[in-house]
Structure 1
Amino acid sequence: MSNPQRGAVEFRAVRKDYGGFTAVPNLNLKIEPGQLVTLLGPSGCGKTTTLRMLAGLETPTEGAILIGGQDVTRLPANRRDVTMVFQSYALFPHMSVLDNIAYGLESGGMKAAEARDHAARGLDLVGLAGRGDRLPSELSGGQQQRVAVARALVLEPQVLLLDEPLSNLDARLRRRVRTEIRELQQRLGFTAVYVTHDQDEALAVSDRIVVMKDGHIAQDGAPRELYEAPASEFIADFIGEANVIDCQILSVAEGQARIGVGGAELTLPARKGRPGAARLAVRPNAFHVRTDGPGLEGRVTSAAYLGDHIEYEIDTAAGSLFVVDAASSTARAPGSSVRLQFSGTGVALIA
């Protein structure tokens, strides 16, 4: 009988101390089967420690970790039914690609011929059929990373763990391989926990993003939610760019707040706000640059034409704002008077 919780992950009040330093104070997190959840945050935020505890490479000081409904807190790594893809690929250089993939299966007791059949299917899964006889050095960095993914997948783990898997690839290759990983995860429906410090990577691959700061969860939600409605200045600044400006909540009614900012007004979801001083996060592309009409008055101090958009620095009563305008093919000259109108997305009250 199949386990309906297969692939589910849960951290219950997990704490991790290293001597007198607490890396993760009190982590409570649930991951549903079939989700790709990214742990995102700056260096030292606790994301890698969390992944290593899930993998069995670190033991929690307190709390419990469950995989597929089973408490695995004290189980060794080889009994957890998870596999990890590392940033370094960790392929055996003297072994063929096919043998690299089959190695884990044979080590687990599978006969060599059967293991190689599984390995060949794994290569096919990641789009590398026919390359099994090559050495890792004969493949590109992106292909080697796909081999590492195939080696993990053929073990049919409950959860695939990916630790900064694209950090050794150049920018263009990272975009391609992250797309391939996401398509593979969606097609096969496996649970994945992905660690990165790259915000674009997290936005591109995730069902959910868990942003960590000082070992705590700063915000947990879908990529669009975190980008368009950050809960704090830290989230607004860490995921993408944002102008964080002072404002006044003038009134609140039926969950909507009327907001005054630099002489302009707008209405936004109140998010537990109440009348008085507040802060507003505005994405650079959440402005429409106009010459007249309602909006925030400003003066262009710099303009840069970048092909498909123009980047401005604009002085306003709310401060100097960074604005990205995709609507105009001709940059407005420094010194020009403009009106900044707020768009319907990318503007949010923050704590």
Structure 2
Amino acid sequence: MIHSPGSVVFQNVRKTFGAFTAIHDLSLTVEPGTLVTLLGPSGCGKTTTLRILAGLEHPTSGRILIGGKDVTMLPANERDVSMVFQSYALFPHMTSLDNVAYGLESSGLSKKDARQKAEHGLELVGLAGMGRRLPAELSGGQQQRVAVARALVLEPQVLLLDEPLSNLDARLRRRVRTEIRELQQRLQFTAVYVTHDQDEALAVSDKIIVMKDGEIAQAGSPRELYEAPASTFIADFIGEANVVPCEIIDISGAHATVSIEGLRHVVPARGAKTGRGKLAVRPSAITVEPAESAAFSGRISHAAYLGDHIEYEAETSGGTLFIVDPSVDRPLAPGTQVAIGLKNRGIAIIAE
């Protein structure tokens, strides 16, 4: 459907609204055929970045290139991009087929050819045979797929997705995000995807760009961001993390020995130096066992059974730890004194 996926390059892009700077000197690259997610909290600049790429806003300074072509000052209809909005923006009085064909007919394609391409577009997103249905006769997930098909049939160099799953319930979000990812990998189109949902970003992305206050806080693969956060902000934003003070007591090649309340543990060094530091410890990387005394000890202050795991909060001399324990057959009651241990994965020195 998309014959030549394009690259996206931002070169020192800045965007101001009066005295407010929404984007600070932003430089990034999206390789052809990849799905890159702009992730961050509300107000971080991700939606402004997408609107600048779409041509709905113009940068105050800097350049934008799509497929190697400078499009900085081009209007939206000359940029060879298509956008999928969170509201779907389907015409309620038109069938699914007519919704998908609308942009093709508006661009000058004959009605017959537009409908043939629209039927193929619906088939691509798993809606073959549903072309006669009105949007009101489709589920939320099906409506979103119609919106994706409508964007894909225009054969853009880049597909833009603005919070495309935010109107769906949790179970449907999981299914549709899987469908979007499988479709992108099968058709190899370039996609820039905006979301504030960390799980969504981890599930669909080749690369995640985490934004904060109009700047890139960290960029990398989902695994890199989860396992090697560059800052406390990233550690806490990409999945949950306990930020624990530690002493880095030895560096040996690629590994560092750290001490937490007297408990020693070996972690990737990541360029760290000996001395005081911080660890990002995922809740699932912590173990707890009943014990009156231990090198690293605590007291269970809260326990919540969630079916396949128990969530604990444990009070320690270094602060409160949030713990996810799969051992549902041996629950620990609040007030229990515990020895705290660490697993080999899910622990990283914070590089900042």
Q: TM-score with structure 1 length normalisation?
A: 0.95
Matched, 1:330 2:330: yes
> Which whole-Å deviations, capped at 9, do the CAs of 1:251-285 have from their partners, x for residues lacking one?
22323221111111112222222121111110100
Q: Give secondary structure in 1 for the equivalent of 2:171.
A: helix
Q: Which residue of the partner structure matches residue 70 of structure 1?
A: 69
Paired letter, 2:111: A
- Match in the other structure for 2:190: 191
Q: Distance in 1 between matches of 2:3 and 2:254?
A: 42
Bigger mean CA deviation after superposition, 19-28 or 336-345: 336-345
The total of aligned residue pairs comes to 349
Change (3 A) 1:194 1:295: farther
Change (3 A) 1:117 1:295: farther
- Secondary structure of the corresponding residue to residue 341 of structure 1: strand
C-alpha displacement at 1:291, in angstroms? 4.2
DSSP-derived class of the 2:324 partner:
strand
- 1:295 Cα offset (Å): 6.0
SS at match of 2:72: coil
Identity within the alignment, %: 67
Matched, 1:233 2:232: yes
CA shift at 1:26, angstroms? 0.7
1:3–1:129: structure 2 CA closer, same or farther, 3 Å change rule? closer
Q: Secondary structure at the match of 2:243?
A: strand
Pairwise CA distance, 1:150: 0.2
Q: Measure the CA separation in 2 of the matches of 1:18 and 1:124.
A: 42
Secondary structure of the structure 2 residue equivalent to 1:278: strand
Partner of 1:82: 81
Partner of 2:208: 209
2:307 is matched with 307
Match in the other structure for 1:101:
100
Q: Residue 151 of structure 1 aligns with which residue?
A: 150
CA deviation vs aligned residue, 1:57-84 (integer Å, no higher than 9, x gap): 1111111111111111111111111000
Code of the aligned partner of 2:186: R
1-structure distance, mates of 2:302, 2:187: 48
Q: Which residue of structure 2 lines up, in the alignment, with residue 129 of structure 1? A: 128
1:221 partnered with 2:216: no
Contact 1:39 1:195 in 2 (8 A): yes
Find the residue that maps to 1:134 and give its secondary structure.
Answer: coil
Match of 2:141 in 1: 142
Give the CA deviation at 1:134: 1.3
Provide the residue aligned with 2:344 in structure 1.
344
The whole-number CA distance in structure 1 between the counterparts of 2:243 and 2:185 is: 35
What's the CA shift for 1:32? 0.7
Give the partner amino acid of 2:228.
A
Whether contact under 8 Å (2:305, 2:328) holds in the other structure is: no
Is 2:18 the partner of 1:22? no
> Contact 1:297 / 1:339 at 8 angstroms: preserved in 2?
yes
- Tell me whether 86-95 or 283-292 shows the greater mean CA deviation: 283-292
Contact 2:3/2:155 (8 A) holds in 1: no
Output the CA distance in 2 between the equivalents of 1:88 and 1:267. Answer: 48
Distance 1:334 1:145 in 2: 45
Maintained 8 Å contact 1:65/1:71: yes
User: Aligned-pair RMSD on alpha carbons?
Assistant: 1.7
Contact 1:295 1:341 in 2 (8 A): no
Query: Is the contact made by 1:229 and 1:346 (CA closer than 8 Å) also made in structure 2?
Result: no
Does residue 176 in structure 1 map to residue 175 in structure 2?
yes
Q: Is the 8 A contact 1:294 1:341 kept in 2?
A: no
Shift in CA distance, 295/33, structure 1 to aligned 2, threshold 3 Å:
farther
CA distance in 2, matches of 1:27, 1:9: 13
1:295 and 1:342 in contact (8 A); partners too: no
Contact 1:3 1:68 in 2 (8 A): no
**Paired amino acid for 1:339:** A
Q: CA deviation at 1:314?
A: 1.4
8 Å CA contact retained: 2:261, 2:295: no
SS in 2 for 1:311: strand
Please report how far the alpha carbon of residue 306 of structure 1 lies from its aligned counterpart in structure 2 after TM superposition. 1.6
Q: Secondary structure at the match of 1:277?
A: strand
Deviation string 1:105-148 (CA, Å, 9 cap, x unpaired) is 11111110000000000010111111111111111111111000
* Distance in structure 2 (CA, Å) of the matches to 1:228 and 1:334: 30
1:162 deviates by 0.2
Alpha-carbon separation, structure 2, partners of 1:252 and 1:297: 25
SS of the residue aligned with 2:217?
strand
